[in-house]
Amino acid sequence: AERLKAGLAKTRDALGKNLAGLFGGGQIDEALYEELETVLITADMGMDATTHLLKAVRDRVSLRGLKDATQLKSALKESLVELIAPLEAPLELGGARPFILMVAGVNGAGKTTSIGKLAKYFQSQGKSVLLAAGDTFRAAAREQLVVWGERNGVQVIAQESGDAAAVAFDAVNAAKARGVDVIIVDTAGRLPTQLHLMEEIKKVKRVVQKADADGPHEVLLVLDANNGQNALNQVKAFDDALGLTGLVLTKLDGTAKGGVIAAIAKQRPVPVRFVGVGEGIDDLRPFRAQDYVEALFE
Ligand code: GDP
């Protein structure tokens, strides 16, 4: 929780400073609601979530007969927790073996870093991990993964040639043959506007399904929180293409845009499995709505 607090410092600075003025004192009136609206939009919550939150706050204020602006803070915190709580659904491996996890994202979102963190996370739970180096576009990235895997006790399946779907297919079969617990299928970074690449990643998913009728068990999108409202567009596009089961929201330590989570909750509520709060291998946290909101406000 401390690390999350440190991570969300920038969002908190931007949001908190603006809110501090609002909650400072005086009466709850229309002018105050208007200021609150501006603050929430500035924090990248988007119009839908902002409207929703304002109504939820107003309801709490009238239900409790609140008059003083200082009382608005807890009403807002509660409303925000309520809005994003449905996104809290920790990743569970269940009985699947191997548990097949496929990872997508745009370049630079933090995909490679997050995969390393995830591998460590599963290993710390006593699980064996195999990684499918599905980024077949960048030879250097592939080699880096192999070296990284050797150093960290993660098996890596990589191929000199062949397409991403073929790598995924071979890796799932290898994971089965070797009795591996978790397989992480990496994919090359891509933008939703690159339609041929979106077709390619759909094919990766189809081929995984061919190798294992139950898989993939998890389709994760890695999302840079700095992208603000654009992050929401990425969620929609990848969800439409792949049927996402979860998100990893990265770089919360470096952004003033942590509010985008409210927009996601309102407009495309894909569970946030993890949040990234730093570049280190341990800087990954399961998402908890209450902790997140506390970190935004404290
Ligand atoms: P990819 O292109 O999606 O594979 O992105 P990378 O994993 O290579 O990450 C891009 C950059 O973002 C690297 O410099 C990472 O160290 C950094 N990064 C990834 N996740 C986080 C995070 O949660 N916090 C911070 N501060 N940096 C991150």
ipTM score of complex? 0.99
Pocket test for ligand 1, best of 10, 279, 281, 283 (most atoms within 8 A of CB): 279
Flag whether 187 is marked binding.
yes
Is position 186 annotated in a ligand binding site? yes
Could you read off the pLDDT of 208-250 as tens digits, one per residue?
Answer: 999 999 999 999 999 998 888 899 999 999 999 999 999 999 9
Which of 3, 113, 222, 274 should be mutated for ligand 1, with most atoms under 8 A from CB? 113
Q: How confident is the model at residue 153 (pLDDT cuts 50, 70, 90)?
A: very high
Judge whether 219 and 104 are in contact, CB under 8 Å. yes
Q: Which neighbouring-strand residues pair with 132? A: 157, 185
Assess whether pLDDT exceeds 80 at residue 158. Answer: yes
Query: Is 282 close to ligand 1, i.e. is its CB under 6 Å away?
Result: no
The residue ranking higher by pLDDT, 97 or 18, is 97
Expressed in angstroms and rounded, the spacing between residue 251 Cα and the centre of ligand 1 is 7
- The answer to whether 103 and 205 have CB atoms below 8 angstroms apart is no
Lowest mean pLDDT among 27-31, 59-63, 253-257: 253-257
pTM above 0.90, yes or no: yes
pLDDT at residue 110 is higher than 80: yes
CA of 27 to the centre of ligand 1 (A): 44
Listed residue (238, 252, 245) closest to 44, CA to CA: 252
What would the mean pLDDT of 141-164 be, rounded to a whole number?
Answer: 86
Q: Binding site annotation covers 251? A: yes
State pLDDT tens for residues 32-62.
999 999 989 888 899 999 999 999 999 999 9
* Predicted pLDDT of residue 256: 63
